[in-house]
Amino acid sequence: MKSILLNAYGEAPYLADVAMPEPGATDVLVRVAAASLNPLDNKLQAGYLDGVFPLTFPSKMGTDLAGVVEKTGSLMSRWRAGDRVVARLLPTEGGAFAEFTLVPEDQLVLIPESIDFDQAAGMPTAAATAWQALFETAGLTAGQTVLIHAGAGGVGSFAIQFAHAAGARVVATASGDGMEIARRLGAEQVIDYRSEDFASVVSDVDVVLDTIGGETQQKSFGILRRGGKLMTVVSPPDEALAKAHGVEAAFIFHSSDAKRLSAVMKEVVSKRLSVLIDRSVSLESFDEAFARQASGRAHGKIVVCV
């Protein structure tokens, strides 16, 4: 079968022929229909996360996938051949960018009929991260104001919709075509970060979702009300700076969680939310998708169709 592999940190991923995996007692063999890229994939390839997610080479790539159950490792499994499923694999294991992959049976979630494979593949990391940050950690409620950085990105596009559906007032940063996308998804105010300083435009914000880090994260502390919360998915926040501003700050370290993914899937279906897809490419054009993800210019998710 075909699979995307990485031979060493910093090297280009490549398409290779590998042996078909055989499911163990608690595994399910999934025929992959679609898989999506995340910033995590670029960081893993560059070796930035070696201290957290060390890879063993050659390493299979990809965490987010949707497909069809091909075979189970146990006759007692609740999954059956033909089931449409979505899952997030462990970053150290990878394997989403392949024709077939093994998934622990407790990490699979059934895909509703109204969701296609491309949409489902776009949800596991981005949508679940946004959900975890806004509701599980920040406790965002109706009537509060939230600022979402990079509102047209993978996490940002889901965060805008989740917050809007929950009755919060949504402010987002974006640029170019991303500004209209953010408005369409539910942002009441969109700030062009190329020409406006968000720190001089908004204040007394209840929650900030930081997907950029660096100076953006530092300046975000100043726009929060006292007691407000900064959620970052990029790097651990400056605790001293948070204390000085009288706010809370948390680093959202997303992990695979089938229960959370199932809740997110139900929210997307029940509220008729969108899965923003930047582009879909074939497995053979993976290098194009990988470069697009690394550019930081993608609007929503980049999907690899297998």
User: How far apart are alpha carbons 265 and 16 in whole angstroms?
Assistant: 32
Q: Is 76 within 8 Å of 68 (Cβ atoms)?
A: no
Q: What is the pTM of this model?
A: 0.94
Query: What's residue 55's pLDDT?
Result: 96
The CATH number corresponding to 126-251 among 3.40.50.300, 3.40.50.720, 3.30.750.80, 3.40.50.10490 equals: 3.40.50.720
CATH class assigned to 2-124+257-305: alpha beta
pLDDT in tens, 137-181: 999 999 999 999 999 999 999 999 999 999 999 999 999 999 999
* Alpha-helical runs (H) found in the chain: 39-46, 117-121, 126-131, 154-165, 177-185, 198-201, 214-220, 239-245, 258-270, 286-295
* Backbone dihedral region for residue 37 (phi beyond 0: left; psi -120 to 50: alpha; all else: beta): beta
Domain assignments of the chain as residue spans, ordered by start: 2-124+257-305, 126-251
User: How far apart are alpha carbons 204 and 146 in whole angstroms?
Assistant: 10
**Beta-sheet strand order (sheet of 59-60):** 14-17, 2-6, 59-60
What one-character-per-residue DSSP string does 153-194 give? Answer: SHHHHHHHHHHHHTT-EEEEEE-THHHHHHHHHT-SEEEETT
pLDDT in tens, 187-218: 999 999 999 999 999 999 999 999 999 999 99
